[in-house]
Structure 1
Amino acid sequence: MENDEGKTNPNGEANGVLPATSETLTQPLFRPLSAANIEELETSELESLCLSCHENGVTRLLLTKIPMFRDIIVISFHCPHCGNSNNEIQENSPTQTDGVEYTVAINEPTDLNRLVVKANHALLKIPSLEFEIPPGTQKGSINTLEGFIQMSISELEQDQPARKEQYPEIAAKIDDFIKRLSSILKVETPFNIVIDDPSGNSFVESKTGVGIEGSTDDKLSVKRYKRSEEQDKQLGIIDTSTKGESSDNIPSAHTLETGGVESSTSIRDEVMSFGTECPNCQMPAETNMKLVDIPHFKEVVLMALNCDYCGHKSNEIKSGSGISDKGKKIELRITDPTDLSRDILKSETASMYIPELEFEVKPGTLGGRFSTIEGILTSIKEQLAGANPFVTGDASSGSKMAEFIKKLDEVIKGQKLNIHIILDDPAGNSYLQNLYAPDEDPEMKILEYDRTFEQNDDLGLNDIKTEDY
C-alpha cells in the first residue's frame, strides 16, 4: 500500500479525513440514513491494497444509524483496476444482554425481499434444506434474504471447476445442492429462514411497518433468549473469575444502600453519577442513578443520561428487588384523558399491548421505562415516525405506518377513548398507577400468575442452582 501521507484533494483537505469544523464536532458521528438526507451524510475514503490484483483500490466508510435498531459502520471496497469489490458492515454496539432469533415464513417470492442486518456472529439457516451459513463465514452485511441465498450460491459455484477435476463425486453433490438452493427462490413450497444471533445485533425488516420488531407481522417471529455459557465464551464476554456476577453491572438495592457505605445515611437521598459513552455520538457523557420508592409498589433504580455534545437523552429503569415470585398482567381501560397522566413503569422484561390498535411492544424492545402513559406512547410514536429505510421505500407500508401513527396520535391527545393498555411482565416488575389506592381501581385489572417453563427459561431462572453448592 502506498503511503498517502501529505496527499490532498482539490479542496486542500487530507484524503480520507473529514475537516474538524465546529459543525462536525457538534454533529452526531452516526446519523440516521434516509432518502431525505442521504446526500448530506459524509463518507471517508481511504486507499487500500486490493488482495486480488495488488493494486490500490478505494475503501469508503459510512457511519450511520438504522432507526429502531442501532449504529452501524458500512464498509465498501472497490478496485478500479480489476473490478474486485467487497461490502460489509460492522456493529458499533456492544454485545446485547440477550441473544435474538428471527424466524421468517417464506410463502411467496416477495417474502424474500425483506432487508436483513446480519451481524458477524449470526447464523442463517434453512431447516428444510439442512442448510446453514455459520457465523464468520460471511462477514456482517446488509442484504435481502434472496441476496444472502444468491451469495451462497455464488460462493458454492466459485471453485466448482477445480472440484470437478480433482473430486468429481463431491462436485456432483454440490451441483445437486446448488440446484435445490436455486429452486427454493421460486418458492414453490413454503419454508422458513432462521437467523440466530447470540450477540443480539442482527435485525430483520418488518413488512407491516407497524409495531416494533415485527410484532404485527404474522410472517415474522422474534424471540429473545439468555445465552448459554458456551455462547458467552464464543463471544468473548465471560470471565470465569467473576462467574455469577450480574452482566448488567448494576448494583442491587441492598448493595447500593449498604455496600461500601460506612455511615448510616441512606443512599436513597443521593444521586450517583458515573462516566459513560453517549450511544448516539460516542462522546463522553454522564449517567445519573437514583433509588426511587414507588408508592404501593416497590423500589426501583432510575438511570438517566443527558449528552452535552449532541443533546441525546435517555432514561432506563431497573428493578431494585429482583424477580418476583410470580408474573403480573395489568390491564387498564382508558375512559378519560386524565388516565393518560397515570404513571407507568414498563420493565425491560415486559410486553405492552394495545388490542384496539393491534399494536404490541415486545419485551426488551424499549428497555425499562418510567413515565406517564402519554409519555411512553409519545416515545413510541417518535420512534415509529422517524425516518425508517425499511418502511419508507414501500408505498403500501408507508401508508400503513401513517395510518397507525394517526390513530396513536388520537390516543395521545385523548381523542380516542375506551382503549386498553395491557402490561404483561413475567418478572412482575411493571407497574401502572392506581388513582384510587389503596382501594381497588374500577378500570384496572391485575392478575398474578405462575410463569411457564419457557418464561422461566427466558429469565434465566432454569439455570440457577440453589442446591449442592
Structure 2
Amino acid sequence: MSVIKVPEVKESSSLFREINAEDEEQQPAELESLCMNCYQNGLTRLLLTKVPFFKEIIVSSFTCESCGWSNAEIQSAGRIQELGVRYSLGVRNKQDVNREVVKTDYATTRILELDFEIPACTQKGALTTIEGILERTIVGLQQEQPLRRVEDEGVADKIDVFITKLQSLKDGETPFTFVLDDPSGNSFVENPIAPQKDDALSVTHYKRNTDQDKLLGLESSCTNREQSQEPKESTEELRDEVLMFQTNCPECNAPAATNMKLVQIPHFKEVIIMATNCDSCGHRTNEVKSGGAIEPNGTRITLHITDMSDLTRDVLKSETCSISIPELEFELGMGALSGKFTTLEGLLKDIRELVVDKNPFTLGDSSISDRREKLEEFGRKIDKILDGQLPAHIVLDDPAGNSYLQNVYAPENDPEMTVESYKRTFEQNEDLGLNDMKTEGYEDEK
C-alpha cells in the first residue's frame, strides 16, 4: 500500500503558494511509488506552487534509491486560455538555441526543415530551452537504436543520420525554423530583447477548432448551442439589462460571477463588456468583445500624445488589435492583452504591467541583469509618458477594424490623430479565419 505524507496546512494558507525559500510551510507531499526502471519502491514528491506565467503548477519529482533513476516534470494547474498560441522562431545561432521555452503537455513541436514533429501529449510539460527539447529528442531516439539494429539495420542507419542532423541543430551549426503550437495557450518562447519586437519570433493567437477542444476536454460551443433550447432575448431587451452568469476566478479558481452588458460607443459601434470580480481573492478582470461583424477593411489609428489630457481618451482594443510605440521601438501583437475598454492611461499601465512586472524571465533564476535593466528602463519610459514628460505616438492596428480611440474633437477631425483604412493581406485574413470562410451558396451544398 502506498504511503502519502502530506504537510500540515493552516486554514489561512492557500493550496497553491508562491515560491519562497524562506516559507517553512511550503513543503512537498511525499508519495511512495513504484520505480518503472527497477520495479522497486521509490519516492515521489509533489509540490503545489505558483510561478510567473504558468501561475498555478504542480511540480513532481521521482527518485529511486535502489537504481538511482530520477525524473522530474511539471503540470499546469491553471485555466486554459481563451485562444491557442503558435510561436514560430527562426533559429540562426547558438544564442537562439539557448532561448528558454515553457512547453505544456498539449503543445506540438515542429522543425519545418526536417519535417519533424513531436505531437501533443507525447511528452510531459517542462520549463527548458530549445537545446533541451532537441537533446531530449536525441536521447529518446538513441534509446531504441540497439534493438533497431537487430530488427532492421537499414532503419537504424537512417535514424543515425537523422540524429546527426538534430545534433547539428542543437549545436547551432545549421539554421532551422522552430514552431511551438499550443491550443491551451499556456506555452511560451522567450524574447531576449523584450520589450522590443523580435523579428525572428512571430506569435499568433488563434481560435481552437473542434478537435483541439476535444483534446483539451472542452465542449464545443456549437454543441452547447444545439443543446440549448431556451428562447433568445432580442437585442433591444438586452441593451438595458446587465446579464450575470457563474464562472470560476482565473486566479484562485473559486466560484465567481461575471457581468455582461451591451454598450453603444458614440461615433463607433456596439460592444459587449464583461467584468468578473472575485470575492475570495479580490481579483478583478474586464474584457471587451465586438458586438458586430469583422469590417471589410482593417483600421490603423495613430495618436500623437502631446498633453496629459490625451491620456484620458477612451480606448477600445479588440482581441485582434496590435499596439506599437515607435519612440520605444515597442510592438505588442494581437491577443496579448485580450479585449479591453479603458483609457489610454489604463492601456499604458497594462502594457507596463505585462512587459515589466509580470514577465516570467525577469524573476528568480530566470533573471539576467542586462535583460532586467532593459525592461526596467522601458518601464521608466512608460512612466515618463504617463507623467507627460515624454511625447510619443501610439499606434493601434486592427485588421478586423473593431478597435476605437476617442476623438475629443468629434464630429470634427482630430489634428493629433489619424485613422487609416487599409486592405488586409492574405496572412491577416488567414489569422482571422476568413480565407476558408464561405458565406454564399453554402446551403446549395447541403
Structure-2-length-normalised TM-score: 0.89
Of 364, 388, 408, 2:382 maps to: 408
SS at match of 2:442: coil
Residue segments in structure 2 that go unaligned for 5+ positions in a row? none
Matched, 1:199 2:184: yes
- Which residue in the other structure is 2:323 paired with? 352
Equivalent residues of 2:102, 2:128 under 8 A apart: yes
* Closer, same or farther: CA 265–234 of 1 in aligned 2, 3 Å: closer
Q: Could you tell me how far apart the structure 2 residues matched to 1:462 and 1:129 are? A: 28
Q: Could you tell me how far apart the structure 1 residues matched to 2:232 and 2:125 are? A: 42
Equivalent residues of 2:141, 2:163 under 8 A apart: yes
- Deviation digits for residues 276-313 of structure 1, max 9, x if unmatched? 11111111111111222211111111111111111111
Equivalent residues of 1:32, 1:387 under 8 A apart: no
**AA paired with 2:397?**
D
Of 198, 204, 228, 1:223 maps to: 204
Q: Could you tell me how far apart the structure 1 residues matched to 2:17 and 2:29 are? A: 18
- Which residue in the other structure is 2:333 paired with? 362
- Which residue in the other structure is 2:147 paired with? 162
- Which residue in the other structure is 1:19 paired with? 9
* Closer, same or farther: CA 105–240 of 1 in aligned 2, 3 Å: closer
Q: Could you tell me how far apart the structure 2 residues matched to 1:275 and 1:244 are? A: 17
Structural mapping, 1:416-435, within 5 Å? 416-417=390-391, 419-435=392-408
- Which residue in the other structure is 1:270 paired with? 241
SS at match of 1:328: strand
**AA paired with 2:6?**
G
SS at match of 2:96: helix
How far apart are 1:68 and its partner, in Å? 4.7
SS at match of 2:150: helix
Matched, 1:114 2:99: yes
**AA paired with 1:219?**
A
How far apart are 1:387 and its partner, in Å? 5.4
Q: Could you tell me how far apart the structure 2 residues matched to 1:227 and 1:335 are? A: 41
Structural mapping, 1:269-418, within 5 Å? 269-386=240-357, 388-392=359-363, 393-417=367-391
How far apart are 1:63 and its partner, in Å? 3.5
Q: Could you tell me how far apart the structure 1 residues matched to 2:402 and 2:222 are? A: 30
Equivalent residues of 1:67, 1:386 under 8 A apart: no
Q: Could you tell me how far apart the structure 1 residues matched to 2:97 and 2:27 are? A: 30
Q: Could you tell me how far apart the structure 2 residues matched to 1:456 and 1:389 are? A: 31
- What is the percentage of aligned positions where both structures have the same residue? 51
200-209 vs 60-69, greater mean Cα deviation: 60-69
Q: Could you tell me how far apart the structure 2 residues matched to 1:378 and 1:115 are? A: 26
Equivalent residues of 1:32, 1:67 under 8 A apart: no
- Deviation digits for residues 314-360 of structure 1, max 9, x if unmatched? 11111122322322111111111110111111111111111111111
SS at match of 1:275: strand
CA RMSD of aligned residues (A): 2.7
Structural mapping, 1:235-274, within 5 Å? 235-237=216-218, 239=220, 242=223, 259-260=232-233, 266-274=237-245
Q: Could you tell me how far apart the structure 1 residues matched to 2:117 and 2:173 are? A: 20
How far apart are 1:416 and its partner, in Å? 0.7
SS at match of 1:82: coil
